[in-house]
Amino acid sequence: MKKTNHYIALIVIFIMCSCQKETSQEDVTAVSSKKSDWLTASLDSKFASSQKEVTAYLFPTNEMTALVKTPDIEQVSFVLGYADNTIQIEVIGVDKSGKRLGIVKSTILKESNYDAQLTQLNELSLSKTSKRTALLNEHLLLPSDAIAGIEAWKEKLNKVSDLDEITSYEGSRFRSFSIESDVIEAMVNKSNKNIGLFLGLNPKGKVTTILIGLDENNAIKKASLTSKVVDDVYDATRPCPPNGDPEDPQ
Mean predicted confidence (pLDDT) in 178-206: 94
Query: In this structure, is residue 138 part of a structural domain?
Result: yes
| pLDDT for position 223 | 74
Tell me, what's the pLDDT at 60?
97
53-66, pLDDT tens digit by residue?
A: 999 999 999 999 99
Question: Is 120 within a domain?
Answer: yes
Do the domain assignments include residue 50? yes
**Residue 223 or 125, more confident:** 125
Query: Quick one: pLDDT band at residue 193, thresholds 50, 70, 90?
Result: very high
Rounded Cα–Cα distance for residues 207 and 151 (Å): 12
Chain segment 64-86, per-residue pLDDT in tens = 999 999 999 999 999 999 999 99
- Report residue 231: phi and psi, to 5°: -95, -45
Low-confidence winner among 66-80, 188-202, 225-239 (lowest mean pLDDT)? 225-239
> Is 3 inside a domain boundary?
no
The answer to whether residue 12 is domain-embedded is no
> 248 lies in a domain?
no
Are 76 and 90 in contact, with CB atoms under 8 Å apart? no
- Confirm whether 11 is domain-assigned: no
Asked if residues 58 and 109 have their Cβ atoms less than 8 Å apart, the reply is: yes
pLDDT in tens, 2-36: 444 444 444 333 333 333 333 355 555 555 667 78
| 133 pLDDT more than 70 | yes
Number of domains in the chain: 1
Parent domain of 235: 21-240
How far apart CA 212 and CA 56 sit, in angstroms, is 10
Pair 38, 47: CB distance under 8 Å:
no
Q: What is the mean pLDDT of residues 142-164?
A: 96
- What radius of gyration do the chain's Cα atoms show? 20
Within a domain: residue 198? yes
Q: Which of 12-16, 161-165, 186-190, 192-196 has the lowest mean pLDDT?
A: 12-16
pLDDT of 3 reads 47
